[in-house]
A and B are shown apart, each in its own frame.
Chain A
Amino acid sequence: MMRRVKTKLTSKWATAAAIIIAVVWSVPTFGLFVTSFRPAAKQVGPRSNGWWNAFVDWDFTFKNYADVLTPAGSQSANLSQYFVNSVAIVIPVTIFVLVLASMAAYVFAWGKFKGRDALFIFVFALQIIPLQMALIPLLQFFTQTLHLPAGSYAQLWIAHTMFGLPLGIFLLHNFISEIPGEVIEAARVDGAGHSTIFWRIILPLSVPALASLAIFQFLWVWNDLLVALVFSGGTADVAPITQRLAEISGTRGARDYLNPAAAFVSIIIPLLVFFGLQRYFVRGLLSGGLKG
């Protein structure tokens, strides 16, 4: 039965179309990958040519990567510093969002108080506030009210956490509310308090949803440019790799040949996270949106 349904649906044309889409979607990234290993003279200037010629010339080098990673002179991309910044920003933010969002989601799913559903819908709606709308007042609040030091991670950590919470609460709530009530009731009969139930039962049972939210949050913060532009101050002490990448690719010049290698350095971590954990990623997205 299955066989026949399958042969009916996938004609030769469909296969051809699928192959074309797959090729068109992967060629740009592949081109960047190849270009990042080509010598400067082949990328810019009179003797340059398209990246596909690399397979004819067979001329590859690691020099671009060495140049973007090591601090050599004031003009250097110095990416390793910014790379560390990205890691230092993304790890605390992911932990903050996971813990705070799951606490709130637990109460929204299992707490009993007036106006719970209305408040939950309000939190869901917060997702829609464009970041652009929040940036100016938040920056004033950080510097004038809280006196957070400019040029430290604190502003970025707090801002990213704030922006990540609505989606986090929404995704985790969908998962946590489907944990069987008997499990929680049994623990309560045994005398467990709310904090015990939360840490010993809710969190361990929510691992798939937590994993998917973690990936989501990780990719989102790692790839962010807007929040970084507003809050980081742009120095090598704080700014993430995306901001540096936007800087060096924005200025046209003799060092253009470094852009592909720099871009690939910034892409490699999210790609690894993504390919390593994509199973969870998909599962978490589904628990978030497809019910009902």
Chain B
Amino acid sequence: MDFIGGKLLQVVIALAIFAAIIGIIMLVVDRAPKSVKDKVTVAGFLAPAGILMLVGLVYPAVRTSMLAFTDASGNGNGFDNFVWMFTQPEALTTLRNTVIWTVLVPLLSTSFGLAYAVFIDKARGEKVLKSLVFMPMAISFVGAGIIWKLVYDYRGPGLEQTGVINFLRDALGLDPKQFLLDAPENTIFLIVVMVWIQTGFAMVILSAAIKGVPVELIEAARLDGANAWQQFRNVTVPGIRGALVVVLTTITIATLKVFDIVRTMTAGNYDTSVVANEMYTQAFRAGEPGRGAALALILFLMVLPIVVYNARVLRKQREIH
């Protein structure tokens, strides 16, 4: 166990350097002359985060955008990478899969999450029931990949099945299925994993929002003769609209970036690749950084409308305050 010592030392040194930097900033802010004190404070408090974000996010985003218009050896090639993306069958499959992911995951996760939140609202053991569905949120995509490989496990017909689903198929007299190999439905079976992870997130947020809907409103609707579905449709859903938007936005962005699930379960083979995975493959495995960058740029463009929408909402909120 002697390796721990060296690693611990590195951590301690890093924390010491960090503390020193912060200490110097605080010292400068406190000692600044009164006339410029406010300006120095703003600069000093913003600088570390600002510099890191400029170097780590803004500058790379600009560089990648430029890289998208170059070939494997770094020479400009106009829109060739984008032409490749929208003409090559494999690249088109990747784009198609990404669209399927982005439509199905937010829709299914939010629906299951909302249904579950409504069904267990004020039920006995609500906390435990919530934890069961929320738990996958804490599990890494890599871990989830291993868990679901076990669920989808396949043995040839006639052999004893070791995967839960093929065991059930067997019991029903159906032939076992290679869930991860048979295109195009294998994409759906990968999506199931993502829905399994994201439903808990949707459920927790929506459950909290449901508890915020005034009981009097529901009671009034009930006295007016509304049945359970009408109460839900006309009172609960409008009452949690804000939370629904947040949940859909967050899950959509997470889905567009999804990488690890595909990477660990099929590595993008058998027609299951998505943009984020293909970008990694092109840039780091196939030696085509230009194509990788072009795919990253497309990803950014797909997310852009969601940002614009949310930035608008944010601006409105800040004007009200």
Is the CB–CB distance between B143 and A245 below 8 Å? yes
Judge whether A85 is part of the interface by a CB distance below 8 angstroms: yes
Cβ-defined contact, B264 with A111, below 8 A: no
Q: Is A10 an interface residue (CB 8 A)?
A: yes
B83 at the interface (CB under 8 A from A): no
Residues A92 and B222 in contact in the complex (CB < 8 Å), given A49-B162, A135-B60: no
B22 interface hit (Cβ, 8 Å): yes
Assess whether A76 is interfacial by the CB under 8 Å rule. Answer: no
From residue 254 to 287 of chain A, which have CB atoms closer than 8 A to chain B? 259-260, 262-263, 266-267, 270-271, 273-275, 278, 282, 285-286
Q: If the complex has contacts A111-B45, A159-B56, are A1 and B64 also in contact, measured as CB distance less than 8 A?
A: no
Q: Would B64 and A242 count as touching, CB distance under 8 A?
A: no
The yes or no answer to B256 lying at the interface (CB within 8 A) is yes
In the complex, whether A232 has a CB less than 8 A from a CB of chain B is no
**A26 near B53 (CB under 8 angstroms)?**
no
Which of B85-93, B172-180, B295-303 lies at the interface with chain A? B295-303
Q: Is the CB of B259 within 8 A of A22?
A: no
Known: A52-B167, A274-B135, A274-B138. 4 other contacts (CB 8 A): A31-B164, A50-B161, A128-B306, A129-B57
B140, B141, B162: which has the most chain A beta carbons within 10 Å? B140
Q: List residues of chain B with CB under 8 Å of any chain A CB.
A: 1, 3-4, 7-8, 10-11, 14-15, 18, 22, 26, 29-30, 37-39, 41-42, 45-46, 48-50, 52-53, 55-61, 63-64, 67, 112, 115-116, 118-123, 129, 131-143, 145-151, 160-164, 167, 196, 199-200, 204-205, 208-209, 215, 218-219, 222, 228, 231-232, 242-243, 246, 250, 253, 256-257, 259-260, 263-264, 267, 276, 279-280, 283-284, 289, 292-293, 295-297, 299-300, 303-304, 306-307, 310-311, 313-318, 320-321
Closest-by-CB residue of B relative to A153 is: B10
- Contacting pair B204 A132 (CB below 8 A): no
CA distance A11 to B228 in the complex (A): 9
Binary contact track A89-131/B, C-beta < 8 Å → 1, others 0: 0011001100111011011000111000100110111111111
Chain A residue at smallest Cβ distance from B243: A290
Q: Report B-chain residues with C-beta under 8 Å of the C-beta of A259.
A: 146
A157 cross-chain contacts in B, Cβ below 8 A: 14
Tell me, rounded to whole Å, the shortest Cβ–Cβ distance linking A52 to chain B.
Answer: 8
Asked, given contacts A137-B64, A250-B264, whether A223 binds B141 with beta carbons under 8 Å apart, the answer is yes
Contact, CB under 8 Å: A166 / B257: no
Q: Are A126 and B119 in contact (CB under 8 A)?
A: no
Determine whether the beta carbon of A32 is less than 8 Å from that of B147.
yes
- The answer to whether A104 touches B50 (Cβ under 8 A) is yes
When C-beta atoms are compared, the residue in chain A nearest to B277 turns out to be A132
A223 touches B140 (CB 8 A): yes
